[in-house]
Amino acid sequence: MKLNSDLEEIRSQFPILERVLPNGKKLIYLDNAATSQKPECVINAMSDFYSRYNSNVHRAVHSLSGEATEAFELARENVAKWFGLPDEGKVIFTSGTTHALNLCAFGWARVNLKPGDAIVLTEMEHHSNIVPWQMIAEEKNLELRWVDVNQETFELDFEDYKSKIIGAKLACIIHTSNVLGTRNPVEIMVEMAHNAGAKIILDCAQAAAHERLDMDSINADFLAVTSHKMCGPTGVGALLISSDVFEEMEPVEGGGDMILEVFKEYSTYQENEHKFEAGTPRIAEAIGWSAAIKWMETLDIEEMHRHTLKLAKNASDGLKRIPGITVYGDHSKEDVSGVVSFLHETLHAEDIARLLDSMGIAVRTGHHCAQPLMRRLGVKATNRASFYFYNTLKESEAFVNAIKMIVEKFA
Ligand SMILES: *Cc1c(COP(=O)(O)O)cnc(C)c1O
């Protein structure tokens, strides 16, 4: 599918893109790194579940439950296929990336790391890939080693990673930055972690939205992914696991569905993914995510990403020509996502966002859940416009013009 000729067709799949805001302005949605919009097929798949076969899974023999169970487990298979999991790989459904990272911390690291062991993080991490490790480090007396970010290239200091991974037991690395757009060289970082005898988990919340991740070739032990940034519903994501580390994990939550047998004295657990999915799982959400994946399969993801990058680069180049604006990120490279973080030297980031909102343009403002990175950049907050494949060049231009106008008028 060629994107440019079909952009209107793709946009027509997203009812919200027609939205007119209460102030009468047509929506220009540039907050895709926070959550993407959902195509009609995803909304319909969830509505279809609730109107035709809503039922709990794995529990009853009645037909409805059979249909729901089948759709839910098919969703798991579709997720596994989309992310290129090897046959022995596992998909544990979680509420999103944050939950997946916590599951790795409390289900794997808590069990397998010993006092004095070291975990490697980077200054580029999202709080979701920081706080769980701080909690585990405190509980188990572990060392956290931080890899620097270079403020000029907006890349990880690779030499720093090289030296800090030596002797570490686990690396927790952001695949693609939600602030800078930088895509880290994760394939090499995985190899280096394994050569050093460390396991590695990648935070793929952003990456999964922009590229077809293949767990088999990335070869990481764990990937944390989320549905809601890749056209699927909120409330579901997954911890994707290569086989051998799965055997080393212990459940974090106890309850129904994760057990084999329960006695007064003790309980025995399921052997498969269900062991980590206590209680009624995210049935409608998993079905919705699966519909998003099935839809994305019909699109040319690489072509769509090139389109997204073109819009981001147009915005970044345009912003750089406006006096007083600094852009955090290098959009001349290919290895970036659709985010453009920027700041004006005197105008307050929040004021800029509010003025943009009055023109119908939605962007993010704040620390983007990455305060250590903000400190490295020497700022408290930035404005962030984040593009996705359904955005248009016209929207990117309208955004730059809006900033130009705001700066001329208010700075
Ligand atoms: C959004 C995001 C998260 C959190 O993901 P949720 O699925 O919302 O929990 C974590 N890391 C990065 C890089 C993100 O962009």
Nearest atom (ligand 1) to Cα of 35: 1
Instruction: Check residue 25 and report its DSSP letter.
Output: P
pLDDT reported for residue 374? 97
Distance 75 CA to ligand 1 centre (A): 21
Reading phi first (left if > 0) and then psi (alpha if -120 to 50, else beta), residue 143 is in beta
Cα 146 from Cα 120, distance rounded (Å): 6
Which residue among 129, 229, 289, 341 is best mutated to probe the pocket of ligand 1, counting the most ligand atoms within 8 A of its Cβ?
Answer: 229
Which residue among 121, 126, 240, 341 is best mutated to probe the pocket of ligand 1, counting the most ligand atoms within 8 A of its Cβ?
Answer: 126
| Dihedral sign for Cα atoms in the order 300, 307, 35, 149 | positive
Cα 217 from Cα 202, distance rounded (Å): 13
3-state secondary structure of 386: strand
Task: Report DSSP letters for 59-117, one per residue.
Answer: S--SHHHHHHHHHHHHHHHHHHHHTT--TT-EEEEESSHHHHHHHHIIIIIHHH--TT-
Every domain of the chain and the residues it spans:
7-30+300-410, 44-297
**What six digits make up the tokens of 388?**
């996705």
Cα 404 from Cα 407, distance rounded (Å): 5
Cα 369 from Cα 96, distance rounded (Å): 15
Which residue among 125, 206, 225, 236 is best mutated to probe the pocket of ligand 1, counting the most ligand atoms within 8 A of its Cβ?
Answer: 206
**Residue carrying structure tokens 């990272």:** 101
Cα 405 from Cα 85, distance rounded (Å): 48
Instruction: Check residue 238 and report its DSSP letter.
Output: E
Residues paired with 121 in a beta bridge = 146
Which residue among 36, 97, 204, 386 is best mutated to probe the pocket of ligand 1, counting the most ligand atoms within 8 A of its Cβ?
Answer: 97
pLDDT reported for residue 60? 79
Pocket-forming residues, ligand 1, beta carbon under 6 Å: 96-98, 126, 128, 174, 178, 203, 205-206, 226, 237
Distance 396 CA to ligand 1 centre (A): 24
Nearest atom (ligand 1) to Cα of 226: 7
Distance 98 CA to ligand 1 centre (A): 6
The CATH code belonging to domain 7-30+300-410 is: 3.90.1150.10
Nearest atom (ligand 1) to Cα of 228: 7
Report the 10 Å Cβ neighbour count for 350. Answer: 12
Q: Decide if 144 contacts 258 (C-beta within 8 A).
A: no
Nearest alpha-carbon partner for 86 in 226, 220, 248 = 220
Instruction: Check residue 184 and report its DSSP letter.
Output: P
Distance 205 CA to ligand 1 centre (A): 5
Distance 392 CA to ligand 1 centre (A): 25
Nearest atom (ligand 1) to Cα of 237: 7
**How far lies 40's CA from each of 16, 47, 295, 298, in Å?**
9, 10, 10, 15
Reported as a single tens digit per residue, the pLDDT across 348-358 is 999 999 999 99
Distance of CA 280 to the CA centre of its chain: 24
Nearest atom (ligand 1) to Cα of 98: 9
Q: Decide if 136 contacts 142 (C-beta within 8 A).
A: yes
Catalytic residues, by residue number, are 369
pLDDT reported for residue 5? 61
Cα 381 from Cα 373, distance rounded (Å): 10
**What six digits make up the tokens of 141?**
């007396």
Which residue's CA is the closest to the ligand 1 atom numbered 5?
A: 97
Which residue's CA is the closest to the ligand 1 atom numbered 12?
A: 205
Distance 128 CA to ligand 1 centre (A): 7
- Alpha-helical (H) ranges within 196-300 are 207-210, 215-218, 243-246, 283-296
Distance 150 CA to ligand 1 centre (A): 22
Reported as a single tens digit per residue, the pLDDT across 339-396 is 999 999 999 999 999 999 999 999 999 999 999 999 999 999 999 999 999 999 999 9
pLDDT reported for residue 91? 98
Binned average pLDDT, 10 residues per bin, the chain of 411 residues: 74 97 96 98 98 92 94 98 96 98 98 98 98 98 98 96 98 98 97 98 98 96 98 98 95 95 96 96 98 96 95 98 97 92 97 97 97 96 98 98 98 91
| Size of the chain in residues | 411
Nearest alpha-carbon partner for 392 in 133, 30, 52 = 30
Angle at 179 between CA 177 and CA 182, to 5 degrees: 40
Per CATH, domain 44-297 is 3.40.640.10:
yes
Q: Decide if 117 contacts 143 (C-beta within 8 A).
A: yes
Which residue's CA is the closest to the ligand 1 atom numbered 2?
A: 205
